[in-house]
Amino acid sequence: MINTLLEHRSIRKYKEKQIASEILDKILEAGTRASTTGNMQVYSIVATSDIEVKSKLWEAHFKQDMVKQAPIILTFCADFNRFNKWCIQRKAIPGYDNFLSFTTAVIDAILVAQNVALAAESFGLGICYLGTTTYMAQKIIDILEIPKFVVPITSIVVGYPDENPSLTDRLPVSGIVHYEKYKDYTESDIDSIYKEKESGEFTKELIAINKKETLAQIFTDNRYKKSDNVLFSLSFLEVIKKQGFMNNQ
């Protein structure tokens, strides 16, 4: 397991090879063993392999080819629909139409997604998370016919790798872990933590291609611009409201 964790790579190219049903079943079962708030399991997984539906999801996920290439795409949802219905059928009044409950379900969905990712990799499969899920939540809701009190949170494509990329750089553990209490970062701390990431040849090429002065500018000006962040924040908030989670009175 430790090797699976330390050797994780995001795979974006896949072979035309299907995943055996017994393997997929075991991977999904491993997902359901994830930690969950109050053992409520307020999440759902939509497993999509149908070519036509995948094509629609490909459109929603900014036409990333791996969505079509991988034999299956898994959409992980924050889901209080099932739990609410159970409560009502058992003469209990659910009070989960609020932001805290939504956050609880988001945490559950992310935990199960990571369990699934690790289980898939343990079988020699590759995975890649799709950050576009929250950006295009409403389109995904429409495509997958997702009901009220359910919100797509993240997705992963799963399949047999057709590439073997090198490990992606990570910040040093010393720059992330705080012992006992949070210790804020000094300027020299920031310089030290980001030194290796900024000094690599790939980073230098990236800066040159994008005609920027620093790697940070690529993030703020190109990849995750404030204008895009605001736009997608507003649209996602509307989805959360529409799906019934913002009644905070």
pLDDT tens figures, 157-213: 999 999 999 999 999 999 999 999 999 999 999 999 999 999 989 999 999 999 999
Rg of the chain in Å (alpha carbons): 20
User: Residue 249 above 90 pLDDT?
Assistant: no
pLDDT computed for residue 248 by the predictor: 72
Distance CA 13, CA 47 (A): 19
Contact 72, 157 (CB under 8 A): yes
Residue-range domain boundaries for the chain:
2-165
Distance CA 115, CA 120 (A): 9
Distance CA 91, CA 5 (A): 44
In DSSP terms, which residues pair with 21 in a beta bridge? none
In DSSP terms, which residues pair with 130 in a beta bridge? 155
User: Residue 20 above 90 pLDDT?
Assistant: yes
Q: Residue 110: exposed, middle, or buried by beta-carbon count in 10 A (0-12, 13-18, 19+)?
A: middle
Closest C-alpha to 151, from 135, 137, 139 = 137
Distance CA 139, CA 147 (A): 13
Distance CA 123, CA 129 (A): 17
Fold of 2-165: NADH Oxidase (3.40.109)
